[in-house]
């Protein structure tokens, strides 16, 4: 018996012990919040000090500037660093200056490097940025540079006389004291937090291995389920009858049922594929066999009467028609197979490539063709699949119109869906035919193969979309295809 067995079997008590680790995490969070609030409080105090110093100089500066008394202006600036207000004894003033509206030095604490009558010295991009920003200030403001102990902030106050801008005061204070205050607070808070963490880790280590072992096994099992690798799920050993033991037993039963369910689904899928294959095979055999029988009769007759020009003239068109019928059926099936396997994405503007193809399909007939693509360039689609859907639907509508009518193609985005609409004002579809529209080899056209709408249905289904038909005899037909945008962009 290991020392872990001294703990009671109740899972609630085990989780109660691990609460110490949670407390340690909460302590870290609270400590971080306190440190952040301390830093913000110290920083606000420093900003107020900087603004107070800048404002105190700006208050006395107008008279000196108007009288060009730059020496008094310098003394006022110098006294600011010697006699700081109460509560600012630990404030480190890096520098201070008074500039005219053009940025020329009127007074500067560092007179050696910043002589009167010239712009202040710029030692880098940061100084240039601060100089430019300070010249744009028209009310007291704070400018910052860096955060650590080498960082600083500036209190900037404009100098006005009768609403006329005479210059600006810049007082730069170091972050050093602020940084040291925050550092001392952080050390205290981190020390207390680490003590809680150490205490919590002792308790957490004692229970984590016992709790995580079965949970890890279950996690790996669920990942295998997500990947479809049900055969890789190992049963979890059940050594106790506590809540974890009950959970492990439940998981084992669930895994077993999922394996059985997966096996059954695979068997059903194979059966459905065989049924679909049988239907297609039977349809192909029927659709090809009919013209073949006629072709064989024509060829047999021509063999018996090879020198009869009348028979040749009569049967050659029939042979051509029958062979083209077989050719169209085979080509449609090959197109469906190739397009259904296509996964390339492209911009929705690739749909515009179909416009000329549809115009050539109209071939000068009195048919008005309206193209209305409202999808933006940033909308991605499965280019080949969606193009084939649109092309098949448009061809279907044009064939339904005959010699005269209107066909409208419209597409737009609705929330997370792409909508494709093809509308015509043709003869419409009889109610008894609606349920058969998407069946292979069903057609009401004299020379149709019955595969166009079936291919559309298969492609829409492969992209987890929906196709709907609204039609009324004598009032035209509308096909609406709804495809999920996220699915199309993957």
Q: Are 361 and 333 in a shared domain?
A: no
Tally of structural domains, the chain:
3
DSSP single-letter state for residue 54 = H
Q: Please check whether residues 71 and 140 belong to one and the same domain.
A: yes
Phi and psi at 421, nearest 5°, equal: -125, 135
Which residues, in sequence order, are CB contacts of 248 under 8 Å at separation 6+? 214, 217, 218, 236, 237, 238
Q: Within a domain: residue 132?
A: yes
Largest CA distance in the chain: 130
Tell me whether residue 226 is in a domain.
no
In this structure, the strands spanning 380-382 and 164-174 are: unpaired
Q: Are residues 268 and 124 in the same domain?
A: no
Is 198 within the bounds of a domain? no
Is residue 205, in this structure, part of any structural domain at all?
no
Same domain, 334 and 350: no
CB 67 within 8 A of CB 106: no
Indicate if 387 and 312 belong to the same structural domain: no
Given 144, 162, 182, the domain boundary residue is: 182
Question: Measured between alpha carbons, how far is 151 from 145 in angstroms, rounded to an integer?
Answer: 6
The pLDDT tens digits of the residues spanning 211-238 come to 655 655 556 556 555 555 555 556 666 5
CATH of residue 447: 3.30.565.10
Q: Which of 293, 323, 341 is the last residue of a domain?
A: 341
**Residue 208 falls within a domain, yes or no?**
no
Q: Give the model confidence (pLDDT) of 60-100 as tens digits.
A: 889 888 888 889 888 888 887 675 555 444 567 888 999 99
Q: Are 155 and 140 in contact (CB under 8 A)?
A: yes
Q: Closest by alpha carbon to 98, among 111, 84, 82, 85? A: 111
Q: How far is it, in rounded angstroms, from Cα 202 to Cα 223? A: 31
pLDDT attached to residue 283? 56
d(CA 207, CA 432): 69
Q: Are residues 390 and 460 in the same domain?
A: yes
Domain membership of residue 220 (yes or no) is no
CATH number at residue 266: 1.10.287
pLDDT score of 3: 41
The torsion region of residue 305 among left (phi > 0), alpha (psi -120 to 50) and beta comes to beta
Q: What is the 8-class DSSP label of residue 116? A: T
Say whether both 334 and 383 belong to one domain.
Answer: no
How far apart (Å, rounded) are the C-alpha atoms in residues 153 and 44? 11
Task: Note whether 279 and 375 are same-domain residues.
Answer: no
Residue 207: inside a domain: no
CATH number of the domain enclosing 161: 3.30.450.20
152-161/105-108 β-pairing:
unpaired
Euclidean distance between CA atoms 97 and 108, whole angstroms: 4
Same structural domain for residues 166 and 241? no
What pLDDT does 12 receive? 43
Q: Of 121, 156, 182, which one is at a domain's C-terminal end?
A: 182
Same domain, 351 and 305: no
Q: Which residues of the chain have pLDDT under 50?
A: 1-12, 16, 87-89, 486-490
Tell me, yes or no, whether 188 lies in a domain: no
pLDDT of residue 176: 80
CA angle 95, 99, 101 (to 5 degrees): 150
**Residue 140: what pLDDT?**
92
465: domain range?
Answer: 342-488
Specify whether 335 is located in the same domain as 406. no
pTM of the model: 0.39
The pLDDT, as a whole number, for residue 35 is 79
Residues 351 and 317 in one domain: no
pLDDT in the model for residue 436: 73
């Amino acid at each position: 018996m290991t020392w872990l067995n001294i703990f009671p079997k109740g899972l609630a008590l085990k989780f109660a012990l691990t609460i110490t680790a949670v407390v340690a995490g909460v302590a870290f969070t609270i400590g971080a919040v306190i440190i952040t609030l301390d830093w913000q409080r110290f920083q606000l105090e420093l900003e107020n000090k900087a603004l107070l110093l800048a404002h105190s100089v700006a208050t006395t500066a107008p008279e000196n500037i108007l009288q060009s008394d730059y020496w008094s202006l310098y003394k006022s600036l110098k006294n600011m660093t010697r006699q700081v207000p109460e509560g600012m004894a630990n404030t480190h003033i890096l520098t201070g200056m008074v500039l005219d509206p053009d940025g020329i030095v009127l007074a500067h604490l560092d007179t050696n490097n910043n002589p009167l009558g010239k712009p202040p010295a710029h030692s880098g991009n940061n100084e240039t940025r601060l100089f430019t920003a300070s010249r744009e200030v028209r009310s007291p403001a704070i400018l910052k540079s860096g955060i650590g102990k080498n960082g600083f902030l500036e209190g900037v106050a404009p100098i006005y006389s009768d609403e006329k801008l005479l210059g600006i005061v810049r007082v730069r204070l170091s972050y050093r004291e602020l940084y040291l205050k925050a550092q001392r607070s952080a050390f205290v808070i981190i020390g207390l937090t680490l003590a809680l963490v150490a205490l919590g880790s002792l308790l957490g280590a004692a229970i984590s291995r016992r709790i995580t072992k079965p949970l890890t096994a279950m996690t790996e099992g669920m990942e295998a389920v997500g990947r479809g690798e049900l055969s890789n799920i190992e049963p979890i050993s059940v050594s106790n009858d506590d809540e974890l033991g009950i959970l492990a037993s439940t998981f084992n039963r669930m895994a077993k049922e999922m394996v059985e369910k997966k096996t059954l689904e695979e068997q059903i899928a194979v059966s459905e594929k065989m049924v679909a294959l049988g239907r297609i095979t039977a349809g192909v055999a029927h659709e090809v066999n009919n013209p073949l029988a006629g072709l064989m009769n024509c060829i047999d007759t021509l063999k018996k009467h090879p020198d009869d020009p009348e028979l040749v003239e009569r049967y050659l068109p029939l042979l051509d028609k029958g062979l083209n019928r077989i050719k169209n059926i085979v080509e449609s099936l090959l197109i469906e197979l190739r397009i259904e396997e296509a996964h390339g994405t492209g911009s929705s503007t690739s749909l515009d490539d179909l416009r000329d193809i549809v115009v050539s399909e109209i071939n000068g007939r009195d048919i008005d063709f309206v193209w209305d693509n409202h999808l933006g360039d940033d909308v991605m689609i499965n280019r080949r699949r969606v193009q084939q859907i649109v092309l098949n639907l448009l061809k279907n509508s044009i064939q339904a119109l005959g010699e005269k009518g209107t066909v409208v193609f419209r597409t737009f985005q609705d929330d997370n869906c792409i909508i494709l609409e093809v509308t015509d004002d043709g003869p419409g579809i009889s109610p008894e035919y609606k349920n058969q529209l998407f069946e292979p080899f069903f057609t009401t056209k004299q020379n149709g193969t019955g595969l166009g709408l079936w291919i559309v249905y298969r492609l829409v289904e492969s992209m987890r979309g929906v196709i709907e038909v609204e039609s009324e005899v004598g009032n035209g037909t509308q096909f609406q295809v709804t495809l999920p945008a996220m699915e199309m962009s993957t």
